[in-house]
Amino acid sequence: MINKVNGMLGISAKAGKISSGTDLVLEEISKHKISLVIVAENASEKTIKNIKYYCNKENISIIIYGTIEENSKAIGKHNRAVIGVRDKNLAETIKKVISGGE
């Protein structure tokens, strides 16, 4: 499952369908450009609480998944605790895979 999700994130990053970094993701949440937010399990409590607040406010799905290192490596970036998925179909597929549906 981890490899499948990381593969999808990697392909999406190359296609420009994700955003990463807390500030950029929060900005795009406010502009209604994000369909799913993935936050690393080892992100700070403040970051997780902040992202959850804005996702609930804008009715956006949030998943706590992977570590900062794993998620960053998957998207080819360094030290990213927050990833925003812009593509709706990709967001649904990732949610399905993480929940064990595929």
* Beta-strand runs (E) in the chain: 18-20, 36-39, 61-64, 82-85
- Which range of residues forms the domain containing residue 65? 2-98
Question: Dihedrals φ, ψ of 13, to 5°?
Answer: -65, -45
β-pair type (82-85, 36-39): antiparallel
Q: What is the CATH number of the domain that holds 71?
A: 3.30.1330.30
Looking at the chain, the whole-number percentage of residues with pLDDT higher than 70 is 96
Which residues share a beta bridge with 19?
84
Least confident of 2-6, 13-17, 70-74: 2-6
Identify the band that residue 19 occupies on the pLDDT scale cut at 50, 70 and 90: very high
Q: Is the pLDDT confidence value at 102 over 80?
A: no
Overall average pLDDT of the 32-52 stretch: 96
Tokens in use for 55?
A: 């996702």
Instruction: Give the chain's domain count.
Output: 1
